[in-house]
Structure 1
Amino acid sequence: MDKLVYVAMTGAKENMLAQAKSANNLANVSTTGFRADLQHARSLQAFGDGFPSRVFSLTERPGYRFDSGTIQTTGNDFDVAVKDQGWIAVQMPTGEEAYTRRGDLKINANGLLENGAGHLVLGNGGPIAFPPFEKVDIGVDGTITIKPQGAADNEMLILDRIKLVNPDNGQLMKNDFGLFVRKDGGIEPPDAAVQVVSGAIESSNVNAVEEMVNMISLSRQFELQVKMMQTAEQNDQSISQLVRMS
């Protein structure tokens, strides 16, 4: 069969992968702090007998959009949004450290602070545990201050400080939990310069209109690749008929 079919197949494969990324982005357009995935592919010459006149598609290392989403005021004392650059350190289900921009925080049944995805928020010494309290305040530097249950109005206790980090975004990758980790597997140290906005959350940075346009464009490209495969099959059948006639 003509090598055209393999060239078209690689193009169709990359179109399908790109469509899956766009579909995932659209599905998370309302997810707090979500970072959109990017799909990259490049052309690669196919070397072999003769001249390398054919080009295959090759998936590049995945990338992500790191621009900030819109900060939305909620009035919830537990909600925090990271200002500008920076991340909130959380604990993955595996017990390892990872980073997110999702700041819709709450206290779970075990008295531990977690975000809307169920990831435990890390403080100076690990997950942040809350004793019985009446009031909570989260400062711009992530410091958590509470009024213990039964305490006087002027008796405030500094409970912990949310671990805020500011790694090089180029050294981060997204894992299967939808969280970001360092590519070298290292742990990022706290950064005192990172600040948060209390009583607010950051929206997803997915541009729904842009993703819809990408989906339509990728769909048209996929149709083109399929037509090329059909053309390759027709060429193969025509050549077979000519051989039989000879």
Structure 2
Amino acid sequence: MSLLDAVSNSTSGLSAQAFALNNISGNIANSATAGFKSTETHFADLLAETEAGSQAAGGVSLSTRSSLQLQGTVASTGVSTNLAISGEGYFIVKPNTGSANAPSFGGQTGYTRRGDFAADANGYLVNGAGYYLFAGPSASTPIQVATGSSAPTTLAVSSAGALTATHADGSTTSLGTMTLAQFDGPENLAPLDGGTYLATDRSGPPAYGFAGASVTAGAVEQSNASLSDQFAKMIETQQAYSANTKVLNAANEMLQDVITMYV
């Protein structure tokens, strides 16, 4: 390997490790965010083109993927409008593209596991990332509950998706039937923001139903980012970054020596 190869490869490694550290820091920052799916960084060797059949290392390439299929722990919150999915599937959500007084929901349809829903001023269920919960793909408005003194004390979701609110006086109100979106290739969903994803050609179109999944009210799925695991990865990545720095510094010193010899 030439000195220029050492410089190129160590620079590639520094860039890759810096990118990995950025993903790890995001995972740590969202370790307490409901429904958050950690982002993993994958590395692959790049092979440089050479002559006579010999093959030299050509740096590193990287890719990222959200761990969408790794479920977080379902934890009770005591908040009646919170919802958690056990099994495969995503809530169907949309952003409010209008205002608080005149909401509009003509934006892109998203899919999320973030179920920390609460009623807004209109009684629409919206999660902590600002996405509104829809019962199904053909619904024109979000799921709506009563507010104030008539707000539900509990919600219940049947295995068929029937959503029922129970009030303080014991009376119940049917809120309709909700469904989940499920994908053949969920690992290929495209990240949007706030733990929300969009369907892609590789994920396939959504199928609607429960197909073995269930929804629990008064609970949320916690982040699947383990702090201990992420800190261990951070230490490993920092060490790799430091090693690439040493290689770059050594190559730089050797290049300076070579330049000095000819000056």
Normalised TM-score (structure 2): 0.81
Where does residue 11 of structure 2 map in the other structure? Answer: 9
SS of the equivalent of 1:33 reads coil
- For 2:135 and 2:205, the matched residues in 1 are separated by 14
- Seen in structure 2, the aligned counterparts of structure 1 residues 186 and 111 have a Cα distance that, compared at 3 Å, is farther
Aligned partner (choices 223, 228, 231) of residue 247 of structure 2: 228
Q: CA RMSD in A?
A: 2.5
Where does residue 261 of structure 2 map in the other structure? Answer: 242
| Pairing of 1:22-61 with structure 2 (within 5 A) | 22-47=24-49, 51-60=54-63
Where does residue 155 of structure 2 map in the other structure? Answer: 137
Deviation at 1:19, TM superposition (A): 0.4
Deviation at 1:201, TM superposition (A): 1.2
SS of the equivalent of 2:232 reads helix
Deviation at 1:27, TM superposition (A): 0.2
Normalised TM-score (structure 1): 0.87
What are the ranges of 5 or more consecutive residues in structure 2 without an aligned counterpart? Answer: 98-106
Where does residue 189 of structure 1 map in the other structure? Answer: 207
Where does residue 113 of structure 2 map in the other structure? Answer: 101
SS of the equivalent of 2:262 reads helix
Aligned partner (choices 83, 107, 110) of residue 86 of structure 2: 83
- CA offsets, 1:121-142, max 9 Å, x none? 1113132233564535331344
Output the amino acid matched with 1:128: I
The answer as to 2:238 corresponding to 1:219 is: yes
Q: Is the 8 A contact 1:31 1:204 kept in 2?
A: yes
Output the amino acid matched with 2:116: D
Count of paired positions: 240
- CA offsets, 1:80-117, max 9 Å, x none? 11012221111145611111111111111232111122
- For 1:98 and 1:29, the matched residues in 2 are separated by 22
- Seen in structure 2, the aligned counterparts of structure 1 residues 177 and 80 have a Cα distance that, compared at 3 Å, is closer
| Pairing of 1:56-205 with structure 2 (within 5 A) | 56-60=59-63, 62-65=64-67, 66-92=69-95, 95-124=107-136, 125-126=139-140, 127-131=142-146, 133-135=150-152, 137-141=155-159, 142-146=161-165, 156-168=172-184, 169-184=186-201, 188-193=206-211, 194-205=213-224
- For 1:163 and 1:32, the matched residues in 2 are separated by 20
What are the ranges of 5 or more consecutive residues in structure 1 without an aligned counterpart? Answer: none
State the identity as a percent.
25
Q: Is the 8 A contact 1:25 1:211 kept in 2?
A: yes
- CA offsets, 1:199-220, max 9 Å, x none? 2111111111111011111111
